[in-house]
Amino acid sequence: MKHITPHVLVLVGCRTASCVSNGHHVACRDLNVATSRSVFAGPYFESKEEVEKFGQAFLHMTEGFLALPICIPGTAVWKAKQGRLYILDLLEKAAARSKAAMKVFSYL
């Protein structure tokens, strides 16, 4: 997903929300994932696959917050825990890439 800047929040009914950005409707949860990804890791993901896996793991993690707290394989909490572990690993890699980029700029 590319950078998304919300211009208008449109509420449809009381359960569905979508955001309008540059003329395209985007689910607000996708906007939340994109915002979190850009805030926490910026441009330091290596591939589109990492971005997509981050999004899926982030959604599992947020869905786990709303689930019955039973951590058994296949439950929302278990998926949330797995998503959290993946996100932590990915953010550690992104931080290392960021530090490497800062070292390059400090020598300039």
pLDDT, one tens digit per residue, over 5-44 is 443 344 333 344 555 555 555 577 777 788 888 787 778 8
Put residue 70 in one of left, alpha, beta given phi > 0 → left and psi -120 to 50 → alpha.
beta
User: Distance between CA atoms of 23 and 61, rounded to whole angstroms?
Assistant: 29
pLDDT at position 13 is 37
Three-point CA angle 93, 44, 46, nearest 5°: 80
DSSP SS3 for 74: coil
The arithmetic mean of pLDDT across residues 77-82, rounded, is 94
The confidence band for 100, taking pLDDT boundaries of 50, 70 and 90, is: confident
Domain that holds residue 31: 8-106
65 falls within a domain: yes
15 falls within a domain: yes
3 falls within a domain: no
Q: What burial letters (b/e) apply to 55-87, b meaning 16+ CB within 10 Å?
A: bebbbbbbebeeeeeeeeeeebbbbbbebeebb
Evaluate if pTM is beyond 0.75.
no
Number of domains composing the chain? 1
